[in-house]
Structure 1
Amino acid sequence: MAERLLVVVPTYNERVNLPLVVPAILHQDPRFEVLVVDDNSPDGTGQLADELAASTPRVHVLHRPAKSGLGKAYLAGFRWALERSYDLIFEMDADFSHDPRFLGDFVRAANDADVVIGSRYRTGVNVINWPISRLLLSIGANEYARWITGLPLADSTGGFKCFRREVLQSIDFDKVRSNGYSFQIEMSFRAWKKGYRLVEIPIVFTDRVEGQSKMNKRIVREAIWMVWWLRLQSLIGRL
């Protein structure tokens, strides 16, 4: 039986990007389906997602009542996917910073891995249109996370990922604390500590052209202390 593939795409004010990125995802492989997780976007993204779902059976929509963080959006999408027995569950941004053309590489890599991470730094620096300050922050954050946690990844903060369903089933979502970009570190760390195989594949990350970045100081602060919390929880066996 063919594997069932679901790409979870969280959205908040992505009305311009959504009608472009969804067809681009579906075009990569007839097995791909898309779950849009919308946080009650004031620009009407959720309504547009409903229209896409009404016209395309491979598109689904999960509405949340308010914006409450990237991590919670993904966890809601993961629960939805597990309830419906998808085999490979992907994380992907709606703004084309994650190019859908790489999705096939994830599927192939998942033949020999449990978690596949699209890495901006696996083969040098593959980032386009970021100011040097943002690039240095990202590189520094990854070095910091690797130093504190021991997580053997060049890019632990990236959000272009693929999980086998068994990995997500093994993680107690109620224990996941991160909600910003440190969510990516935490999910990979939990999978790694459970003995799952993590593999990085090179991608090219292009900063969004339309819409606004969700990065803010609160997200950065969360990432700074979260890696220490993860290390402590691991040491005392409470992950």
Structure 2
Amino acid sequence: MKIWLLWIGVVASCSSALAVQTVEISAREVPLLVAPRVDSEKIVILTRGTVVQASSNTIRDSEGEQWYKIRAPGGQLGFIRAVNVVTRIDKGDSRAAGVQRGWVRAEERTSTAWSFALRASGFGSYTTRHLNRLLGLDSELTFCFLGGVGYGRRRFSIGPALVFTKTSRIVAGSLVYRFFSPFRSEPELRFRLGRDTSSSRTVVGLNAALRYPFSISEGTHLSGHLDTGLIVFTPRPYALDVSLGMGLGLHF
């Protein structure tokens, strides 16, 4: 029995050691080094776009730098800095990491995730209050309150929103739900409840948006978004505003 357990342990260790992944050199020129140290002897220079096989895990040196052990196209074995490569992730990994599928820097999987979203957009709307078309500005600052990592962290956020048009000044609370997408864009749905300070009426709003991040990182980045919204003014006589807009967001 002990022999079998020892054999299973050896096989598992070997499998882990042999686990590899495909990475691509992202920097212009990257030295392949004998050891995971910046002052180590150079073996060969790898250029941007070179695809190589690398260890599935990184090695961290005494300075906190992460390294991959790789096999170069010429067969040489050595080490390169993880910051100089991008790795291929699949759909399952992308959901956990909070990014879309594709090539992503290894360090971005563990980078500090954004917690706040500040967005502003211009919109055009049609209102039944005056049977008229209006232009306006929508701004919002929300906080991801669930914690966690990846998509689970940013799934919900909450915060204040301001909506201005020629005829209304709305102050509202906004609850945002983000739908996971394995692609670059990410759908959002937001529910709002507040007050129009111009008419002292209660407003209830629903907004659907499509967010396109300008970075695949979980860290601080800009994004663009398209959105359409519906605002109901209460009490009677009820009024309805329907809007379509676009804008920018800062996630930090």
TM-score (norm 2): 0.21
Please identify which structure carries the higher strand content.
2
Query: Which has the bigger relative contact order, CA under 8 A and spacing at least 6?
Result: 1
Q: TM-score, normalised by structure 1?
A: 0.21
Structure having the higher helix fraction is 1
Which protein is bigger by CA-based radius of gyration? 2
